[in-house]
Amino acid sequence: MGCTIKHIEYHLSSLKVTNKDLSFAFPNYSEDEIYKKIGVKTRFNTEKNIIGSDLAFLAAEDLFNNSDYKKADVQFLLFCTEGLDYIAPMTACILQDKLGLNNNIGALDLPAGCSGFTNALGMAKAIVESGQSDNVLLLFGDTPGLVSHPNDFPLRALFSDAGAAVWVEKTDSNQLGNFVYGVDGSGAKHLFVDHSCLRNPPNADWLEENADVGGMPRGQMKMNGLEVFSFSLKEVPLLVNAILEKNKLNFEDIDLFVFHQASNIILKSIQKKLKVSDEKMAYYIEDNGNTVSVSIPLALKKAEREGRIKIGSKVLVAGFGIGFSWSGTVLKY
């Protein structure tokens, strides 16, 4: 017994931000310079109080509308986000009600950021293959824009707010390979949302300090780009080799490498270091930026549409980032 990904949908937020828009906000950068530096043409931000679970909800509705899977069939719901509705209850409970799913299902939150897709997929495989459930609805919704300081150029130029829905189901053959996981919490300080929760809440001083930009009441994402870059360059090639080894595959066996779409320069450097050919490397960042946990399902969907993934394809997926944390596997189509 195994399991496989049966259907993917993604949803980008409604507010489209072009490089022209950004160059108005940051007059030191021209449209061309922004594209050259960041490699992104458009990114998407939420508006009208839309948050991560709303984006996940919209992606889930698309999944039910565009596939044969029914709400009544869902046996387990995993919701992956770094922007929960509340500290408690779990947002997965709220989504169960909002989507009108049955009461006799499992529902859990999984906050994981850029390694969110591969972490959640690994958990879905465990749930299905241990016989706890015949299917898992994986929902993703991340809103880095809500915790980015308006004057933080790299964050505003790079990140997007998006949602995704992925249907994972029990199958006879095993199409989700063995998983590799890793974590190095000493990197937590290099990418985190400051003043966001119980350890360091957004107190009166913080709100006052940021009064000119609305107080940053949800906290502020702080990223040390150099450290994140060094981590990615060191850890992702090791992760790829570990995934190949654990799945008894050679580098040449992989038809497409779908990494978390962190940034153009990170992807290019990893591609160069691993010597991945252009046709086997997935770049789906230019039109939508870094969509955090949504980036891999978005890339898989686009690659499928473009015919880059076919029956028989072996696709290596690897998520990495905040934590620091990383994980990945091979998808056999």
Minimal distance, residue 154 CB to another protein, in Å: 8
229 binds another protein (CB under 8 A): yes
Minimal distance, residue 224 CB to another protein, in Å: 6
Question: How many other β-carbons are positioned within 10 Å of the β-carbon of residue 144?
Answer: 28
Cβ pair 139, 124 in contact under 8 A: no
Task: Give whichever of 69 and 229 is closer to another protein, judged by the CB atom.
Answer: 229
234 binds another protein (CB under 8 A): yes
Give residues with Cβ within 8 angstroms of 330, minimum separation 6: 177, 178, 243, 244, 247, 249, 254, 314, 315, 316, 317
Minimal distance, residue 281 CB to another protein, in Å: 15
226 binds another protein (CB under 8 A): yes
Q: Considering only CA atoms, which of 177, 169, 314, 288 is closest in space to residue 243?
A: 177
Task: Give whichever of 2 and 225 is closer to another protein, judged by the CB atom.
Answer: 225
Q: From CA 70, how far away is CA 64, in angstroms rounded? A: 6
Task: Give whichever of 88 and 226 is closer to another protein, judged by the CB atom.
Answer: 226
Strand ranges of the sheet holding 325-332, from the earlier edge strand across to the other edge: 180-183, 325-332, 314-321, 256-259
Task: Give whichever of 76 and 326 is closer to another protein, judged by the CB atom.
Answer: 326
225 binds another protein (CB under 8 A): yes
224 binds another protein (CB under 8 A): yes
Minimal distance, residue 37 CB to another protein, in Å: 5
Integer angstrom CA distances of residue 254 from 72, 159, 273, 317 = 36, 28, 16, 10
- Maximum Cα interatomic distance, the chain, rounded to a whole number of Å: 58
Q: From CA 295, how far away is CA 163, in angstroms rounded? A: 9
Restricting to residues 267-286, name those near another protein by CB under 8 A: 268-269, 272-273
Restricting to residues 11-70, name those near another protein by CB under 8 A: 37
Q: Determine the 3-state secondary structure of 285 from DSSP.
A: coil
Restricting to residues 240-269, name those near another protein by CB under 8 A: 265, 268-269
Task: Give whichever of 16 and 234 is closer to another protein, judged by the CB atom.
Answer: 234
233 binds another protein (CB under 8 A): yes
227 binds another protein (CB under 8 A): yes
Task: Give whichever of 198 and 226 is closer to another protein, judged by the CB atom.
Answer: 226
Q: From CA 19, how far away is CA 299, in angstroms rounded? A: 22
Q: How many residues bind another protein (CB under 8 A)?
A: 15
Given 30, 66, 203, 230, the residue binding another protein (CB under 8 A): 230
Measured CA angle at 322 (ends 264, 229), to 5 deg: 40
Q: From CA 277, how far away is CA 244, in angstroms rounded? A: 17
Residues in the site for another protein, rule: CB under 8 A? 37, 154, 224-227, 229-230, 233-234, 265, 268-269, 272-273
